[in-house]
Structure 1
Amino acid sequence: MDLDPQNAFSAIQTAIRQASALIVTYSFSVLGAILLLLFGFAVAGLVERWVYAGLGQVGGFDLTLRRFFSKIARYVVLGLVVVMVLGQFGIQTASVIAAIGAVGLAIGLALQGTLQNIAAGIMLLALRPLRIGEYVEVGTIAGTVEEIGLFATRLRAADGVYVLAPNSTLWTQPVKNFTRNGVRRNDITILIPNTGNIDEVQKSLLGLAERDGRVKKEPAPAAFVAELGDSTAALTLRYWTSVNDFHSAKTDLNKSVRVTLNVGT
């Protein structure tokens, strides 16, 4: 079949015109998309800084939460920018948003445990049942808090062991915070024969506590009969100290009671 030169030339001209129209059309779309991306990144950075600075004005707002929410604000703005850029090329943004939502739901189901830790981390940072430097006990987990992250909390156990606890574990169980109130109470209980002089022993116990500078004057130390047995009586010395003095005062007073009264504690 012979090719008509005139028809071939017309077809080439038509193709060139269509290609030129497409290039012009998409050139403007690409240029607009680039400008929109640049503008979007600038706005996202500004929003991130505004949110970070604004949350900093809220008294006691945790630094980790400030960073987290400012990053979330940044990514929300960038997500909107991406949807707008896709709209520049004629893509249905409603379909894109629906697809993003479906992907987000799938990721959320797959990372359910991780999201629980993030939610628990936010609650721990917002409500502050534990803070860095405090000694806490949560179930079988105990130690001094060294870092509270969005996923897990790092602690140092009393024997120096490194402990990394998921935030969801810390949030769903009662927290015993030994540091928060600043003071702690201790009881030293001794056994004496029923034939012993209870009044003299009580005076001796109170004297030991009152002479120790680490023992608080308020609440005042007390010595009392805690329990009576067939042949012995249990006497308890109760006193309060600061958190920092608790262990040293406990060991020293245990020793003083043992040496002074020559009894078992």
Structure 2
Amino acid sequence: MELDPQSAYSAVQTAISQASALIVTYSFSVLGAILLLVIGFVVAGLVERWLYAGLGRVGGFDLTLRRFFSKIARYFVLGLVVVMVLGQFGIQTASVIAAIGAVGLAIGLALQGTLQNIAAGIMLLALRPLRIGEYVEVGSVSGTVEEIGLFATRLRAADGIYILAPNSTLWTLPVKNYTRNGIRRNDITMTFPNTDNIDRLQKTLVGLAEQDTRVKKEPAPAAFVAGLGDSTMSFTLRYWTSATDFAATQAEMNKNVRNILNEKA
């Protein structure tokens, strides 16, 4: 069968016309989608900052919850932007939402551990065993809390190391919060000969603690015999400080006690 040149030419012309129409149509859709994405990211950032600042003006509103709600608002806006971008290409919004739901279910079944982290993050935010700025120890993880996210919590170790811990780990293990109660106790135990005068040692050590303005008056510092050996006795100096002064006071007190031991040597 011979190909009719006229028919072939007409077919090519029709194809070119249709391709041109599609290019023009989808070019505007692509440009519109890019514009929506840019505007959406800007608006999402503005909403996050406005909400964070607005909640900061609410008296007593926790810093951890401020960051959490502001992040949620950002992701919500970005989700709306994605739906709008898909709508630019003629995809029905209802279909998009249904598809997102189906994909979300499939991802949820595949990533059950991730969902556990989300659930744990919600429980951490609800019960708040740790807050931003507090120093905590959970299992082998310890540091100052910088951010509690939906999936993981960011901490800064005492030596400045960056730590990202899964929320499920922080939720399933006991939490030691060194900051929450506001005050901390320190015990310094040292060894003296049994021949030393106990009353004089108590007076000297308690006086040493009382001279430091960071040491709390209540509970009052105390010194006592912690153990007895054949020729030596263990003596403990106990005092309380604010949680923020603990490390500095401990270092200073250890030095002063060491000086007393050197004087007796």
Same fold (TM over 0.5): yes
**Structure 2 match to 1:100:** 100
Distance 1:128 1:55, change over 3 A: farther
1:107-126 to structure 2, matched below 5 A, reads: 107-118=107-118, 120-121=120-121
Name the SS of the counterpart of 1:247 in structure 2.
Answer: helix
Which digits, 9 at most, give the CA deviation of each residue in 1:98-137, with x for residues without a partner? Answer: 33221122223333333444554566567371434x5432
Distance 1:79 1:174, change over 3 A: same
Which letter does structure 1 place at the counterpart of 2:74? Answer: K
Name the SS of the counterpart of 1:252 in structure 2.
Answer: helix
**Structure 2 match to 1:177:** 177
Residue 246 of structure 1 and its aligned partner are, at CA, apart by: 3.1
Name the SS of the counterpart of 1:131 in structure 2.
Answer: coil
Residue 251 of structure 1 and its aligned partner are, at CA, apart by: 1.8
Q: Which of residues 65, 69, 72 is equivalent to 2:72? A: 69
Alpha-carbon distance in structure 2 between the residues aligned to 1:193 and 1:61: 52
**Are the counterparts in 2 of residues 157 and 163 from structure 1 also a CA contact under 8 Å?**
no
**Are the counterparts in 1 of residues 52 and 67 from structure 2 also a CA contact under 8 Å?**
no
Residue 255 of structure 1 and its aligned partner are, at CA, apart by: 0.6
Structure 1 residues without counterparts, runs of 5 or longer:
2-7
State the Cα RMSD in Å.
Answer: 4.7
Alpha-carbon distance in structure 2 between the residues aligned to 1:111 and 1:56: 34
Which digits, 9 at most, give the CA deviation of each residue in 1:203-244, with x for residues without a partner? Answer: 222222223454333432122344567887654321123224
Is residue 262 of structure 2 the alignment partner of residue 259 of structure 1?
yes
**Are the counterparts in 1 of residues 226 and 234 from structure 2 also a CA contact under 8 Å?**
yes
Which letter does structure 1 place at the counterpart of 2:144? Answer: V
Which digits, 9 at most, give the CA deviation of each residue in 1:49-104, with x for residues without a partner? Answer: 34541342113444643552232121231244246446x4xx66544433322112
Aligned length: 248
Name the SS of the counterpart of 2:189 in structure 1.
Answer: strand
Identical pairs, percent: 47
Is residue 153 of structure 2 the alignment partner of residue 156 of structure 1?
no
1:1-265 to structure 2, matched below 5 A, reads: 42=39, 46=43, 49-50=46-47, 52-59=49-56, 60-62=62-64, 64-65=67-68, 67-82=70-85, 84-85=87-88, 88=90, 94-118=94-118, 120-121=120-121, 127=128, 129-132=130-133, 134-142=134-142, 144-145=143-144, 147-148=146-147, 150=149, 151-158=152-159, 163-190=163-190, 197-226=197-226, 234-241=234-241, 242-260=245-263
Alpha-carbon distance in structure 2 between the residues aligned to 1:93 and 1:148: 34
Which digits, 9 at most, give the CA deviation of each residue in 1:126-167, with x for residues without a partner? Answer: 7371434x543211223x337436334243355x66644333
Distance 1:162 1:83, change over 3 A: closer
Distance 1:52 1:128, change over 3 A: farther
Which letter does structure 2 place at the counterpart of 1:155? Answer: R
**Structure 2 match to 1:5:** none
Name the SS of the counterpart of 1:245 in structure 2.
Answer: helix
**Are the counterparts in 2 of residues 192 and 233 from structure 1 also a CA contact under 8 Å?**
yes
**Are the counterparts in 1 of residues 225 and 236 from structure 2 also a CA contact under 8 Å?**
yes
Structure 2 residues without counterparts, runs of 5 or longer:
57-61
**Are the counterparts in 1 of residues 191 and 233 from structure 2 also a CA contact under 8 Å?**
yes
Which letter does structure 2 place at the counterpart of 1:219? Answer: P
Residue 35 of structure 1 and its aligned partner are, at CA, apart by: 9.8
Which letter does structure 1 place at the counterpart of 2:249? Answer: F
Distance 1:206 1:93, change over 3 A: closer
Distance 1:93 1:190, change over 3 A: closer
Distance 1:243 1:32, change over 3 A: same
